[in-house]
Structure 1
């Protein structure tokens, strides 16, 4: 403890040990306000762009050439992949028929319109989640060609082409007459 000299490694000279670290000499970091930071960033961004319109046009032209080259390579790659894949036969879609018309059964609530009846359709369905029976009523207008049905009759109606803004059903038969 008599020698108070700091020990230096063998490969280091005393002058190098005495020299301060270069990082310690660095300038202190200046704290900028947010406004100043934004202004500095805007200035840096402005420097990236070409100074003249000619330089900007030249940069755009270079990018366009690179884009064309890349897209051409992608097209060639897609053609090669398509040629390598086995040919897929095109399935011919069968012509769609009209299908089966919907049939509903309900009670006539109004027969005031000429050749038109209003039918109330009652639905009773079990709720998916709660398993409770849920009842709902829908009213629809149906075409009654012979003015056959009266209020309170139980009727069957069939879906058909639209006959008016609201009539898309026609009377099929009167199942039970009102008393």
Structure 2
């Protein structure tokens, strides 16, 4: 019986390959605290159908490359797009203050005058 796991796609940049993160919780053997662990699996996606942040089911398979040992079974739930730093299109007050300060420093009175 081959293992089946469910995880979240963290990268879909390579052709026919996904990077899936499987999170697990376990009790620390010495301190007893519940800690989170994660396992990274490289998954073969023949049709390039999964995207970043999708929840997917994967199954163990024969080795397809040095790191790929899993196949995509199905997409359990579609994600909401890429997660990462959001770039605002509108300037904020802090950015405007930095821009004004930079313009004032680059003027002709920025340094001592050579006489």
TM-score, with normalisation over the residues of structure 2?
0.65
**Deviation, structure 1 residue 126:** 1.8
CA deviations 1:99-137 (Å, max 9, x no partner) are: x11111111011111111000111111224433111111
Q: Which runs of 5+ in 2 are unaligned?
A: 81-115
Match of 1:112 in 2: 13
Structure with more strand by fraction: 2
Runs of 4+ in structure 1 off by over 3 angstroms are none
Aligned counterparts, 1:88-167, within 5 A: 100-167=1-68
Q: Which has the higher contact order (CA 8 A, sep 6+)?
A: 2
Work out the CA distance in 1 between the residues paired with 2:6 and 2:21.
9
Aligned length: 80
Larger helix proportion of the pair: 1
CA distance in 1 between counterparts of 2:15 and 2:59 reads 19
